[in-house]
């Protein structure tokens, strides 16, 4: 028997006919990158994970993020935060930041995307997010992590919260 709450998959509207090349999901929000590098978000953004202002902090249809200065290549989501890798190699983050997972030296939310200054010039090629921490890999094979270091999740040999990206020494550039 099928639950009365289940609905069949439906096409997401509001993307203006754009082709989607990447989708990322936080606990309460969905985001996508289109073939032309635009980022759209929808869902609930109680901690700012939508990346834009919404009167009720939620959006039932995708909204275009206009705060990013370059085309997005990919996205990664943690529990309530988002990271975007742009085609110029910059990483931008927004959403919940209580554990340092945004990399901005702040411990509160960012409702609009902000550049992760500690990664400028690093030629980032990959990003990833855990629940309350984030990571980036550079073209040279270096790995940087930041956020909640519980259980040694950041790879620095301790359990310390890192507010800004720090290179994991064990991955010092080997490919």
d(CA 74, CA 37): 9
The encoded tokens of residue 42 equal 């929808």
3-state secondary structure of 119: helix
Please, what is the Cα angle at 79 between 107 and 168, to 5 degrees?
65
Query: Distance between CA atoms of 45 and 93, rounded to whole angstroms?
Result: 14
62: tokens are 């995708």
pLDDT at residue 57, as a whole number: 79
- Predicted pLDDT of residue 1: 47
**pTM for this entry:** 0.91
Length of the chain: 175
Q: What are phi and psi of 67, to 5 degrees?
A: -85, -10
Q: What is the pLDDT of residues 10-22, one digit of tens each?
A: 888 888 899 999 9
Cα of first residue to Cα of last residue in the chain, in angstroms, is 51
Distance CA 33, CA 35 (A): 7
Tokens coding 15:
């993307």
> Within 10 A of 54 (CB to CB), how many other CB atoms are there?
15
Over residues 140-167, mean pLDDT: 94
Kindly report, residue by residue over 60-109, the tens digit of the pLDDT: 899 999 999 999 999 999 999 999 999 999 999 999 999 999 999 888 89
Residue in 3, 2, 38 with CA at minimum distance from that of residue 19: 38
**93 contacts 134 by C-beta, under 8 angstroms:** yes
């Amino acid at each position: 028997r099928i639950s009365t709450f289940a609905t069949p998959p439906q096409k997401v509207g509001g993307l203006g006919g754009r082709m989607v090349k990447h989708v990322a999901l936080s606990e309460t929000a969905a985001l996508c990158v289109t073939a032309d590098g635009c980022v759209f978000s929808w869902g609930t953004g109680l901690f700012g994970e939508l990346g834009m202002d919404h009167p009720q902090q939620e959006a039932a249809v995708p909204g275009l993020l206009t705060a990013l200065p370059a085309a997005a290549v990919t996205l990664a989501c943690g529990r309530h935060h988002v990271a975007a890798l742009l085609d110029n190699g910059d990483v931008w983050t927004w959403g919940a930041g209580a554990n340092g997972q945004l990399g901005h030296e702040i411990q509160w939310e960012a409702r609009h995307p902000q550049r992760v200054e500690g990664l400028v010039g690093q030629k980032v090629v990959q990003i990833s997010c855990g629940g309350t921490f984030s990571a980036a890999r550079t073209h040279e094979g270096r790995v940087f992590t930041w956020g909640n270091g519980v259980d040694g999740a950041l790879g620095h040999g301790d359990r310390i919260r890192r507010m800004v990206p720090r290179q994991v020494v064990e991955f010092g550039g080997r490919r």
